[in-house]
């Protein structure tokens, strides 16, 4: 299939996923120009949100003599992932379907030193008048069964184009350094193939224990910071 490069300027050929119907793909190709425009807007929305966090971090670094953000990562969902998700949900493979049904095409991940930094940043972000909150999932206060912890937001932000202003959805994830370390390693291990069930169950238990240790580390570091301040 045709695949857009990271800059959306050229097209390359990749193998066609088995689940993609040829007729559906032909229809999708007819709207390739609209798709390029949409992905460009998602990229602009990512830059907008990233800039918001950088500005907040700059202000906090002056006020508190430390950074509330360790790093910021941005990610634009690949076309293969978009098509797979539409297929898995039984949704039309159209440009309109991408914009209407997917909330994680544009992603921004903010890594913070301490847990309370996360909630301070979220409060500051959501008080900005041009940010609209669509959804929040707090996996810090309510971790997933496997131990995953992070704070997820779905927001919309305006992007100001030459002749129009439009609002775009962005998924924002906020984690501590410890949460991100655990999640990155767990993600790698989860996709290992051909692991016997008994071993897989033991590994899941070990990873959950590591997540609990990670949570304890976050709490201890938070307590130490609070005592110092």
DSSP string, 165-214: EEEEEEEEEEEEHHHHHHHHHHHHHHT--S--HHHHHHHHHHHHHHHHHH
**170 vs 46: CA distance, rounded Å:** 7
138 token code pair: 């707090």
Q: What is the pTM of this model?
A: 0.82
User: Looking at residue 129, what DSSP letter applies?
Assistant: T
> Could you read off the pLDDT tens digit of each residue along the chain, which spans 229 residues?
444 444 444 434 455 566 556 666 666 566 778 888 999 999 999 999 999 999 999 999 998 888 999 999 999 999 889 989 999 999 998 889 999 999 999 999 999 999 999 999 999 999 999 999 999 999 999 999 999 999 999 999 999 999 999 999 999 999 999 999 999 988 887 776 677 778 778 888 999 999 999 999 999 999 999 998 8
Q: Which of 99, 104, 98 is nearest to 83 (CA)?
A: 98
* R_g over Cα of the chain: 20
CA 137 to chain centre: 12
């Amino acid at each position: 299939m045709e695949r857009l490069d990271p800059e959306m300027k050229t097209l390359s050929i990749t193998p066609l996923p088995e689940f993609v119907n040829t007729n559906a793909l032909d229809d999708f190709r007819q709207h390739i120009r609209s798709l390029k425009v949409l992905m460009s807007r998602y990229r602009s929305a990512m830059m907008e949100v990233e800039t918001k966090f950088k500005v907040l971090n700059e202000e906090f670094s002056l006020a508190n003599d430390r950074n509330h953000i360790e790093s910021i990562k941005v990610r634009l969902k690949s076309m293969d992932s978009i098509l797979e998700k539409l297929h898995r949900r039984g949704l039309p493979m159209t440009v309109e379907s991408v914009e209407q049904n997917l909330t994680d095409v544009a992603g921004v991940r903010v890594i913070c030193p301490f847990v309370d930094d996360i909630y301070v940043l979220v409060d500051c972000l959501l008080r900005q008048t041009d940010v609209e909150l669509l959804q929040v999932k707090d996996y810090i206060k309510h971790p997933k069964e496997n131990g995953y912890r992070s704070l997820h937001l779905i927001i919309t932000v305006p992007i100001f184009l030459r002749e129009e202003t439009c609002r775009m959805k962005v998924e924002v994830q906020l984690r501590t350094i410890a949460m991100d370390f655990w999640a990155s390693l767990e993600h790698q291990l989860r996709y290992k193939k051909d692991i016997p069930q008994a071993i897989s169950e033991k590994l899941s238990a070990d990873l959950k224990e590591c997540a609990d240790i990670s949570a304890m580390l976050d709490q201890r570091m938070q307590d130490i910071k609070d005592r110092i301040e």
